[in-house]
Amino acid sequence: MNLYQELLWRGFVYQATEGAEEAVSRGKITAYVGFDPTAPSLHVGSLLPIMGLVHLQRHGHRPIAVVGGATGMIGDPSGKSKERVLLDRETLERNLQGIKSQLEKFLSFTGENPAILVNNYDWTHSLSVIDFLRDIGKHFSVGYMLAKESVKRRLEGEGISYTEFSYMLLQAYDFLHLYDHYNCILQMGGSDQWGNITAGIDLIRKVRGGKAYGIVFPLLTTASGTKFGKTEEGTVWLDPSLTSPYKFYQFWLNTDDRDVGRYLRFFTLLPKEEVEALEEELRRRPEKRLPHRRLAEEVTRMVHGEEGLQRAKRASMVLFGGSPEGVSADELEEIMSHVPSVQMTKQEVLSLSMTELATRSGLTSSKGEAKRLIAAGGLYLNNKKINNPARKVEVKDLIEGRLLILRKGKKNYLLIKAK
RNA sequence: GGGCAGGUUCCAGAGUGGCCAAAUGGGGCGGGCUGUAAACCCGCUGCCGCAAGGCUUCGGUGGUUCGAAUCCAUCCCUGCCCA
Interatomic CA distance for residues A10 and A264, integer angstroms:
9
State the alpha helices, DSSP H only, in A59-132: 89-106, 121-124, 129-131
Go through the domains of chain A in sequence order and give each one's CATH number: 3-217 (3.40.50.620), 230-318 (1.10.240.10), 335-418 (3.10.290.10)
pLDDT at site A323 = 57
Residue A162 confidence (pLDDT) above 70: yes
Cβ pair A391, A339 in contact under 8 A: no
Residue A247 class from Cβ within 10 Å (0-12 exposed, 13-18 middle, 19+ buried)? buried
Interatomic CA distance for residues A285 and A244, integer angstroms:
30
Show residues, CB within 7 A, near nucleic chain B.
A 155, 158-160, 223-226, 231-232, 250, 253-258, 286-287, 289, 292, 316, 320, 355, 359, 365-369, 371-373, 376-378, 389-390, 408-412
> pLDDT tens, A272-292?
999 999 999 999 999 899 999
Residue A241 confidence (pLDDT) above 80: yes
pLDDT at site A317 = 81
What average pLDDT does range A339-365 have in this prediction?
90
C1'-nearest nucleotide to the CA of A366: B47
A380, β-bridge pairs:
A385, A407
pTM of the model: 0.84
Cβ pair A36, A92 in contact under 8 A: no
> Which value does ipTM take for this structure?
0.82
Please tell me whether residue A385 adopts helix, strand or coil conformation.
Answer: strand
Task: Give the CA A100 to C1' B36 distance in Å.
Answer: 33
Task: Give the CA A222 to C1' B41 distance in Å.
Answer: 23
C1'-nearest nucleotide to the CA of A313: B36
C1'-nearest nucleotide to the CA of A317: B36
pLDDT at site A322 = 59
Q: Which residues make Cβ contacts (< 8 Å) with residue A106, sequence separation at least 6?
A: A50, A51, A53, A54, A302
Question: Long-range contacts for A21-24 (Cβ within 8 Å, ≥24 apart)?
Answer: A23/A185, A23/A186, A23/A211, A23/A213, A24/A61, A24/A186, A24/A213
Residue A4 confidence (pLDDT) above 60: yes
Please tell me whether residue A65 adopts helix, strand or coil conformation.
Answer: strand
CB-proximal positions of chain B, under 7 Å: 27-32, 34-39, 43-51, 78-80
